[in-house]
Amino acid sequence: MKKFSLGKIVCQIFLIVWLLLCLFPLYWLFCFSLKDTQEIFNGNLIGLPTQWLFSNYANAWGEGGKISLFLMNSVIDTVATLFITSLFGFMCAYGLLRMRWKGQKLVMTYIMMGMMIPMHAALYPLTEVLLPLMKTHWALIIPYAAFNIPITILILSGFITNIPYEMEEAACIDGSGIYRTAFTIILPMMIPAISTAAIFVFLQVWNELLLASVFSSGSVRTLTVGIQQMSGQYQTDYGSMGAALVIATLPTLVLYMCMSGQVQKSLIAGAVKG
Amino acid sequence: MKRVLSNKWSIAVFVLPTVLFFTYIVIIPIFKSFYYSLLSEIPAKVGDESTFVWFKNYIKMFTPGRRNAFPGAVLNSMTYAALSIFVQLPFSLLIALILANGVKGESMYRNIYFIPVVISSVVISLLWQRIYKDLVPAIYDGLGLALPKNGFLGNKDTKLMAVFLPSLWQFVGYHMLLMYGALKSIPSDVIEAATVDGASATRMAFSIQIPMIKPMLKVCLSFSLIGSFKLFDTPWILLERSNMQLPALSMYVEMFSNHKYSYASAQAMFIVFECLAFTALLNLLFRERDDRDLTKGRGRKAA
């Protein structure tokens, strides 16, 4: 019995060490976002800032850094992508999995195939397709939506097949058409599944770099591309860079803190995407 | 009712827009990529002549030579994959097992370990860049140790490790959560029966828990493998485009810096084939295991 509790103590120590290792870089980021370069070079690497320089945030946000612009762009791209994947994903899942026709399985397999293919493969041909849309938000929204539709459908499929067919039957008897049934009866029941998929897609899109670095430039740059470029300009201004990183992270972090259970569920559901 | 649900017109309204959109943006470009990868190196613009050279680009990709870095890049991605599989996954599994067996603060640990997963790898890479450039030298100074030549990010021998560590830090939480969820869904009577039979924690882990979460381990394995082959964000930022050789980076440079579209397309297709091949391999490996277990009569009864 005593040996058992010793094991427990070892486990706890191990867990706490990893916990600290997990949190330390974040604590460090927060601290250096409030320091100036002088302080960092004078040896105060790890400690709390002596003066809390919120001006770093103002600097990153406004004139110098333009983080506010990048943030806005990321919000626009993400919201539009989510709207498209949710609406089209739901409609397609409904047609594919609840209606009855030949070739359902074939079409489902066809769409799921898209999930296994990395975006890299389509990169160059996409530049041709999206050329007319360059410098607009659509150049990113369209590929983001298209590449995230398969996982959305997959996540929805688990839920949509569990809804009893009595729903449609009752609606049909009451004289409701198929579109009204789908959008006013089934859609509301699917909200939990749609939000599970949406959270997954949100994290994918918000954090994406490869496509963004090709398709977003100038005034439509997203956060990931924006802060990456800022890091080049701000070599000497660590504080503002740190502030920019904090601002870029806050939306996902706040989402996670408010609904950690939901976020974890979404990422478990999306894990098959790889 | 049946007629309503198999009305061709409404099926088309529901399914067709998505299928067409998906085909146009995802499927056709992939086939186009494959087609370009078979062309000679004249920019594939309208009006320009390109000749069909079959697999010449693929052969060029793997022809050994001092200036051809692609084989090395593939090797690097394989090393990286091995690191993920043999370091990251066992570590995540260990944490998942400890947490799933019940400790004080179980859910707090789980929630905090998961935080890095939701942060953008761009942010994480920039953050770790600062760690490598400011914090690590300071620590080494303090301990009186010598840094490797050019620092961890500049040194040829430590580069790959330096890229791996931030990803380890970021994704342990993800794998841990996946495994933890699977462990928690093992029926409690199985665990109880083993406890009654006097199984130690180690025995329980190796004989019951790990075999029972094999499907999830497969998901984690393919996640690690495909993630390693596609790896782009972290090395791209962490090494400031200094030529760390990895397939996705090489592809990007050939495509957008050197404008060798056909050659880059061949590299992109290679990444796709690599991912598909390893996915198939994993499926094969795990199917065999399952069959063998069943013939021995130790297969999962509930599943």
d(C-alpha A14, C-alpha B95), whole Å: 9
**CB distance A70 to A221 below 8 Å:** yes
Specify the higher pLDDT residue, B294 or B92: B92
Average pLDDT, integer, range B158-164: 89
**CB distance B15 to A110 below 8 Å:** no
pLDDT at A195 over 70: yes
Domain assignment of residue B197, yes or no? yes
Q: Verify whether the Cβ–Cβ distance B268 to A149 is below 8 Å.
A: no
ipTM of this complex prediction, to 2 decimal places: 0.89
For residue B174, list chain A residues with Cβ-Cβ distance below 8 A.
267, 271
Q: Which residue of B has its CA nearest to A201?
A: B118
Domain assignment of residue B211, yes or no? yes
Q: Verify whether the Cβ–Cβ distance A117 to B7 is below 8 Å.
A: no
Q: Verify whether the Cβ–Cβ distance A8 to B103 is below 8 Å.
A: yes
pTM reported for the whole predicted model:
0.89
Nearest Cα to Cα of residue A78 among A251, A267, A259: A251
pLDDT at A91: 95
Give A139's pLDDT tier (boundaries 50, 70, 90): very high
Number of A–B residue contacts, CB under 8 Å: 252
d(C-alpha B93, C-alpha B171), whole Å: 12
Domain assignment of residue B148, yes or no? yes
Average pLDDT, integer, range B105-116: 92
Q: What is the pLDDT of residues B239-283, one digit of tens each?
A: 876 666 889 988 888 888 888 888 889 999 999 999 999 989 998
Give A144's pLDDT tier (boundaries 50, 70, 90): very high
Q: Verify whether the Cβ–Cβ distance B15 to A107 is below 8 Å.
A: yes
Strand partners for B39: B52
- Among A82-86, A115-119, B8-12, top mean pLDDT goes to A82-86
Give B297's pLDDT tier (boundaries 50, 70, 90): very low
Q: Which residue of A has its CA nearest to B97?
A: A11
d(C-alpha B247, C-alpha B70), whole Å: 7
For residue B97, list chain A residues with Cβ-Cβ distance below 8 A.
none
Q: By CB neighbour count within 10 A (0-12 exposed, 13-18 middle, 19+ buried), where does B90 fall?
A: exposed
The count of domains in chain B is 1
Q: Verify whether the Cβ–Cβ distance B118 to A256 is below 8 Å.
A: yes
pLDDT at A62: 75
Q: What is the CATH number of the domain that holds B259?
A: 1.10.3720.10
d(C-alpha B10, C-alpha A176), whole Å: 14
Q: By CB neighbour count within 10 A (0-12 exposed, 13-18 middle, 19+ buried), where does B151 fall?
A: middle
Question: CA of B295, closest CA in chain A: separation in Å?
Answer: 28
Helices then strands, each counted (H, E), chain B: 19, 0
pLDDT at B101 over 90: no
pLDDT at A6: 82
Domain assignment of residue B111, yes or no? yes
Q: What are the CA-CA distances from residue A91 to residues A111, B14, B19 (Å)?
A: 14, 5, 11
Question: CA of B98, closest CA in chain A: separation in Å?
Answer: 7
DSSP assignment of A31-62 equals: HHTTS-HHHHHTT-SSSPPSS--THHHHHHHS
**CB distance B125 to B233 below 8 Å:** yes
Average pLDDT, integer, range A64-88: 91
**CB distance B50 to B44 below 8 Å:** yes
Q: Tokens in use for A6?
A: 């010793």
Average pLDDT across chain A, whole number: 87
Which of A15, A17, A84, A254 to mutate: most B Cβ within 10 Å?
Answer: A15
pLDDT at A2: 46
As a dihedral over the C-alpha atoms of residue B217, residue B219, residue B222, residue B228, rounded to 10 degrees, the angle is: -90
Tokens 């849309």, residue located: A133
Give B69's pLDDT tier (boundaries 50, 70, 90): confident
**CB distance B119 to A249 below 8 Å:** yes
Question: CA of B162, closest CA in chain A: separation in Å?
Answer: 15
Q: Verify whether the Cβ–Cβ distance A146 to B121 is below 8 Å.
A: no
pLDDT at A52: 78
Q: Does residue B39 sit in helix, strand or coil? A: strand
Q: What is the pLDDT of residues B112-133, one digit of tens each?
A: 999 999 999 899 999 998 888 8
Q: Verify whether the Cβ–Cβ distance A227 to B256 is below 8 Å.
A: no
d(C-alpha A171, C-alpha B102), whole Å: 47
Report the interhelical angle of A238-258 vs B121-130 (nearest 10°). Answer: 140
Domain assignment of residue B2, yes or no? no
What stretch of H or E contains A203? helix A191-206
pLDDT at B298: 44
For residue A152, list chain B residues with Cβ-Cβ distance below 8 A.
none
Query: For A204-219, b where at least 16 C-beta lie within 10 A, e where not — what string?
Result: bbbbbbbbbbbbbeee
As a dihedral over the C-alpha atoms of residue A189, residue A190, residue A195, residue A198, rounded to 10 degrees, the angle is: -160
Give B49's pLDDT tier (boundaries 50, 70, 90): low
Q: What is the pLDDT of residues A219-271, one digit of tens each?
A: 889 999 988 888 877 666 788 888 889 999 999 999 999 988 889 988 888 88
Domain assignment of residue B29, yes or no? no
Which of B23, B104, B118 to mutate: most A Cβ within 10 Å?
Answer: B118
State the residue range of the domain holding B206.
61-295
Give B52's pLDDT tier (boundaries 50, 70, 90): confident
Domain assignment of residue B3, yes or no? no
Domain assignment of residue B52, yes or no? no
For residue B124, list chain A residues with Cβ-Cβ distance below 8 A.
25
Q: How far is CA B92 from the centre of its chain?
A: 15
pLDDT at B303: 38
